[in-house]
Each structure stands twice: as structure tokens, then as C-alpha cells.
Structure 1
Amino acid sequence: MHAKLKIILLLSLYIGAERPLQAQEKTVTNSTGMEFVLIQPGSMVVGRYQPTVSAYVPPQPGPDGEVRKVLPPSAYKVAEKMAAEAAMPGFEVKLERPYYIGKYEVTQEQWEKVMGSNPSFFQGDKVAGDAKKHPVGNITWEDAQAFIKKLNRLDKKHLYRLPTEFEWEYAARAGAKDEIPWAEARARGVISDTTMRQVGSKEPNAWGIYDMIGNVWEWVQDYYNGKIFADPVPPRSGKLHVLKGASFTGDAKNATYMTHAAGPGNGFDVGFRVVMEPRP
């Protein structure tokens, strides 16, 4: 075969193989009723921590004329030094392949369809509204793997797995570079509450994904490294796996996509969402 023709054929085969990825729908619903959002490749900075210290302001008299006590200027100098020592520049993470991630956390209804049972503590009259639309809870990492294994047997078109921590965080950030403001966390997440809520009850993030802050903690694939932030290369082994995003019991410290925790946590407020990929 002529060398030039051979190159053209090889290129057309390569382009043909790539075209399905580029032509994928932005959202997909599978046979179990699980909805997925397409995440395009990109990059983010993980583990960046830049603490700030308020500037020293000399004591000022209040409305009653009394001068309130404040820390001396030397204390602010010490705080500035400590903040500088604690600062971390972070590291860049590149997501080079597109993937689908659950638009919502896996619900009790979807769990029952696949597994035939419901391990959630918050069921029936323990929650407001339709409990089946609430995220499944009381899930161990091994439980999540069992669900995924069975889902892979049921669906012949797609493959399912837990997201990596970087895939989860990239989707949760939805393009944001800095920490999520507290007001936005409250608008998007079921946090500082007494029970979980129906999925999608709060505002989505910029990419149309719901409940990545609050409702239930979410398992990811990675092992926990024993630190507040992830490492550039996740551990290859360990005793605990990573949880992300906080739950309905979360507060300002936990309601973030930047740091991580380790399971099993409380248990009753732990769930997950999955990543979907086309079968080869």
C-alpha cells in the first residue's frame, strides 16, 4: 500500500475512534434512572492554602465611649508569621479524559432497584417528602463497590466506578479556583441540618451537579493519606478511604470541596455517587 494512503487510513481510523467521545451527550440517563453530567478535561490547583491575618487596628471607643481591649500589635506580627509558615502553594492536577459523573448522589430508590434492599437509617417518616428520592446512606466503601459491581452486570452499555478524588473535586469545583464562600455552600448544600434532604433540593453548581456539598459524605476510590489535603500521587494502599463534601451535619469547616476526610465517619450520613464511562 502506498505510504501516503496508509497514513490517511490510519488517521481516519484514529479520528473515527475519538469521535464518539467528542460527540457524547452533555447529560445521560441510564436504565436505573441515574442521571449523569459530562465533564470535559481541564486542570485545577489542589491543596492550595493561603491563610490571611486581619491588619492591626488601634483600639477605638465604642458608642458608649468605652475603649474595647484588642490584642497588641506584636500578636498580629506573630499571627502573620504563623500564617506565612502554614501557607501551601498546592499543585496542579490535569484531568486529561472526559467522564460522566452522577448529577445526584445515588438515591435510596436507585439502590433498591439494583440491590433489592435499603440500608439507610433515614427512611420513611424519618425524612421530609419522598424518602426514596433521598440519598442512600449508611453505606460503607465495600457496599459502594458491591453496588457498582452489580450495576456493571446490569448495564451492558456502560461501565461504572467510584470517582477518583481528583475527578470528584474537579467536578465539584466546576471551574472555581478558590474556596467556596460560606453563603454559596449554604445555597448549594444541605448542611447544619437535622436530616438529609431529597437530592436536588438545593442549587446546582456551575456545571449542573447537585449536592456535592452536604447531604451525605461521598466515597471516592482513593486511600486516605492521613492529611488534610490530597497528595499529588494518591497512596497505593491503606486502611481507610477518602470521603468528600461533608453531610447534612457538616459546618463551615467540612462544607468544602478542597479538603478531605476518612471513612467510615458517622456511617448513617455516608453515601456516594458514581462515574460512568462507555464500554470499549
Structure 2
Amino acid sequence: MSDGLKYDIVYPMATIPGGEIELRDDRTKQKWKVEIKPFLLAQFPVTMELYLAITKKTAISSDGIQKPVVNISWNEAISFCNLLSRSAGLQECYSISNDGEEILCDWDADGYRLPSEAEWQYACKAGTTGYRYGEIDKIAWYEENSGGEIHKVGGKEPNAWGLYDMLGNVWEWCWDLYDEKVYGSYRIFRGGSWAEEARGCGASCRRRSHPTFYIDDLGFRLARSSDKYI
């Protein structure tokens, strides 16, 4: 069994069908449609267990290893994707310049990467049309029901495509720049978190920050462009 298959089993990925999604920027009121090619998306955010296993770091304790890894910057998430790809014998998606200032994505590579913003929203909705794919208390850990802390992945109901914690628990980094002309290198994150009010836990809610930013309710989820399993 290859490492690639091993990690797909330990950390299962769902096949997301192709389609179309409309994005909206509430700040500028702009709307635009994006065609989505079939891709793979992890059923859960990256856990502390997976992160430690791949980075060869040691946990202070075994408590919380099934919870999403947090305090991870966008830059660190990109580096992890490449590291996991190498560990699994897959082609790295990201090319990083020597100074770290320029990062390019090879969308045809079969390795692990962050989802695009459009892929993330499309997968979150899973064919539904509302702000959420279900009743918030059944699908998300957020300010009113989290008890002020992060929770193990998979503790709430999944969406129709078998994806857990798309809303609530932790925000998730996406690949995209938010608005390069206004915000420079700021990247987008989606989904809301355990510390977020209900209004922030919706499929179309957009947030952004510098790629070096990290905080205790922000993590990430893995995607793959490979058509190997599609």
C-alpha cells in the first residue's frame, strides 16, 4: 500500500463533483460565477494528529490530537501541503521562491493543496442554496454551543457530500488572495469557528488576513486536483 493511499484512508477525502458556484463580495457588492472541476476534499479539517505525524513534531500530551490543528498561518499550511505530498510520493502543488515572497500553485499536480475559495464554498453548500446546509446547532460548533473551546472533528452532522465541520469549529484557509489592490498579500479564510457568532458561520461568509497571521480558531483542510480517484 502506498503512502498516498494510506493517508487517504486514515484521513478520508470526498469526491466533489464538478459544477458552478456564484461568489459574492459583500464589501464591494460584486458577484461572479466560477466553474468547478471535480476534485477531492478532506472530510475533516487537518487534525493535530496528522499535523504532528507529518511534521515529526512531538505533542505535549495526547489530549486534543483529534481536534483540528490551529495557530497555523497560511504560509505554514502551504508548507505542510508540500510536505505531505512528498511523504505520500505525490507531486508538490506549490513552488515557493527562495525569499518566500512568491508562491505559485500547479493545479494539475496530484499532491495536496488548499482548496480555492470557490471550491470551498461549492463543497460547503453541497448542492443546497441557503446560507447553511443545515440547522446550525446540528452541524457546527460556534459561540453559543462550543463552551468556549475547540472540539474533536466529526462531532456534528456532515453535509450531503460527507464533509464535516465545514461551518464552525475552526476557520479554514483557502488559496485565494482577497483583494490584492487593496489588501496586498492577504489571503481568504472561510467557515466560522467555535468562537464565532452564528452570523459568521455561513457558506458565503468571507474573512481575510496576512499569510503570516495565526490564531487559536484558524486551521485548514486539504484538497487534491488529481483525477486518480475521480
Gaps of 5+ in 2: 91-109
Q: Does 1:216 align with 2:167?
A: no
Cα deviation, 1:32-64, whole Å, max 9, x if unaligned, reads 822100001011222287xxxxxxxxxxxxxxx
Q: For the residues of structure 2 that align with 1:164 and 1:87, how far apart are their CA atoms?
A: 20
Counterpart of 1:205?
A: 159
CA-CA distance at 1:29 after TM superposition: 6.0
Instruction: Tell me the equivalent position of 1:45.
Output: 22
Give the fraction of aligned pairs with identical amino acids, expressed as a percent: 29
Return the letter of the residue paired with 1:109.
Answer: E
**Cα distance change on mapping 1:156 and 1:224 into 2, 3 Å:** same
Preserved contact between residue 248 and residue 269 of structure 1 (Cα < 8 Å): yes
* Partner in structure 1 of residue 196 of structure 2: 250
Q: Is the 8 A contact 1:32 1:113 kept in 2?
A: no
Match for 2:217 among 248, 251, 269? 269
Q: Which has the higher strand share?
A: 2
- Distance in 2 (CA, whole Å) between partners of 1:215 and 1:221 is 20
| Alpha-carbon distance in structure 2 between the residues aligned to 1:155 and 1:87 | 41
TM-score, length of structure 2 as denominator length: 0.76
Which residue in the other structure is 1:189 paired with?
140
* Conserved 8 A contact 2:48-2:69: yes
- Normalized per residue, the structure richer in helix is 1
**Contact in 1 for aligned 2:140/2:165 (Cα 8 Å):** yes
* Cα 1:135/1:87, change in 2 over 3 Å: closer
Per-residue displacement from partner, 1:203-236 (whole Å, max 9, x unpaired)?
00111100010111100001122xxxxxxxx87x
Aligned residues: 199
Q: 2 CA distance for matches of 1:180 and 1:48?
A: 17
Decide which structure has the larger Cα Rg and report it: 1
Could you list the per-position Cα deviations for residues 93-123 of structure 1 after superposition, in whole angstroms to 9, with x for gaps in the alignment? Answer: 221x21000100000000011012269xxx7
Q: RCO higher in 1 or 2 (8 Å CA, sep ≥ 6)? A: 2
Q: Provide the alpha-carbon RMSD of the alignment.
A: 2.9
Deviations for 1:156-200, whole angstroms, at most 9, x for unmatched residues? 24411111000011000101122127x712211111121111000
